[in-house]
Amino acid sequence: MKHFLLYPMAAFYVFAGVMHFVKPKLFLRIMPPYVPAHHLMVALSGAAEILVGVGLLIPATRVWAAWGLIALLIAVFPANVYMAHGAKFQSISPWIRWGRLPLQAVLIWWAYQYTK
């Protein structure tokens, strides 16, 4: 099962990374004001998601990619907190805004399964 779940996880991150370049406004919108260079950060996080997604599929880089993914998930957590609290996100269901926060722990746990 662990091996099977690797493929949807990798595909999810590659897709999410590509979306940073296709629909950057979605990601720019959730950037906390205190983060500098919003456009650069969206591009870097998108590139990182693509890189770790592909890296997960390559046995020689899988462990490094999994650790990189954990670091990335921790790095983007403030954007999820900003979105959960942000008044400009009231049109998004609170279940989605607040549900993303514990989901980060699940995603970190999932990535951790590939660090060994």
Report field, pTM of the whole predicted structure over 0.85: yes
The predicted model gives 97-115 an average pLDDT of 95
Burial pattern 32-62, b for ≥16 Cβ within 10 A else e, equals eeeeeebeebbbebbebbbbbbebbeeeeeb
Domain residue ranges of the chain, discontinuous segments joined by +: 2-112
- pLDDT of 88 reads 79
Alpha carbon 74 to its chain centroid, in Å, reads 9
- pLDDT of 32 reads 93
- pLDDT of 86 reads 79
- pLDDT of 68 reads 98
CA dihedral for 55, 100, 104, 72, sign (positive or negative):
positive
- pLDDT of 2 reads 78
Give the tokens for residue 73: 């998930």
How far apart, in whole angstroms, are the C-alpha atoms of residue 21 and residue 34? Answer: 22
Give the tokens for residue 12: 């999810």
- 40-99 tens-digit pLDDT: 999 999 999 999 999 999 999 999 999 999 999 999 999 999 989 877 788 888 888 999
- pLDDT of 20 reads 98
